[in-house]
Structure 1
Amino acid sequence: MHQSDIQIQVTLDTDKIPSKIQWRATDSTAEDWQQAKAMMLAFWDGMDKSALRIDLWTKDMMVDEMADFYYQNLMSMADTFGRATQHKELVEEMKNFAKSFYQKFRQLQMEQNKLV
């Protein structure tokens, strides 16, 4: 049996806010630590029937980057759900929500920029 390891390093500032997130994986083609501004990690606890999550982002993660990050994660989660369940109608609904979320975010950004 093959085993693969993923390592994550989070550097915190004096207020315990992430200032740097790095990761590497044994099966990756990259030899060096990879940098990230944000991460989401989720595990399913089958005994408790609950999700265990770690969501972190660095101080330099911009709001528009966060919206992009969430949009891409929502779309990816829809694809994963589709592969696991074959429920195409629900996948389409999830993707439509992700698109609507992103459009609303962009509209809010445009409105806020007009006020500045």
Structure 2
Amino acid sequence: MRKTQITIDVELDENHVPENITWNAEDGGIDKQETKATMISVWDDKTKEALRIDLWTKEMPVDQMKMFIHQILISLGSTYQRATGEEDVAQWMEEVAEEFATKSAIK
């Protein structure tokens, strides 16, 4: 068995607000790459619920956060399609993402 690691380092200010976020993924060739936001979800099989960590720095512009959320919504549809094979639901999720883009004024 082989192991790999993905790590996220968060520097906080005196009020525990993220100032800097970097991430590492050795297998992907990522070493201390800066980012302004991250969203991590894991599935807790015992409680049957998604657990999340959403972090963004003080420097993350609102317009970029909107784009980030939009791209996540699109990728959720793609992930759903690959996991379930339900193309109609995945298409609907993409439509929701496009409606979000319109309502949030990024498209």
List structure 1 segments (4+ residues) > 3 angstroms apart after TM superposition: none
* Offset, 1:28: 1.9
Per-residue deviation, 1:104: 1.0
Separation of aligned partners in 2, 1:29 and 1:47: 33
Residue 96 of structure 2 corresponds to 97
Which residue is 2:37 aligned to?
A: 38
**Residue 111 of structure 1 corresponds to which residue in structure 2?**
none
| Amino acid of the structure 2 residue aligned with 1:62 | P
Q: Deviations over 1:68-102 (max 9, x none)?
A: 00000010011000000011110011000000101
- For 2:2 and 2:67, locate their aligned partners in 1 and report how far apart those are by CA, in whole Å: 34
Asked whether 1:58 is paired with 2:57, we answer: yes
- Code of the residue aligned with 1:6 in structure 2: it is I
Q: TM-score, normalised by structure 2?
A: 0.95
Instruction: Specify every segment of 5 or more residues in structure 1 that has no aligned partner in the other structure, as ranges.
Output: 108-116
Alpha-carbon distance in structure 1 between the residues aligned to 2:90 and 2:80: 7
Superposition deviation, residue 25 in structure 1: 1.1
Identity of aligned residues (%): 42
Which protein shows a greater Rg?
Answer: 1
RMSD: 1.0
Unaligned runs of 5+ in 2: none
SS in 1 for 2:97: helix
Q: 1:77 & 1:91 partners in 2: Cα distance?
A: 8
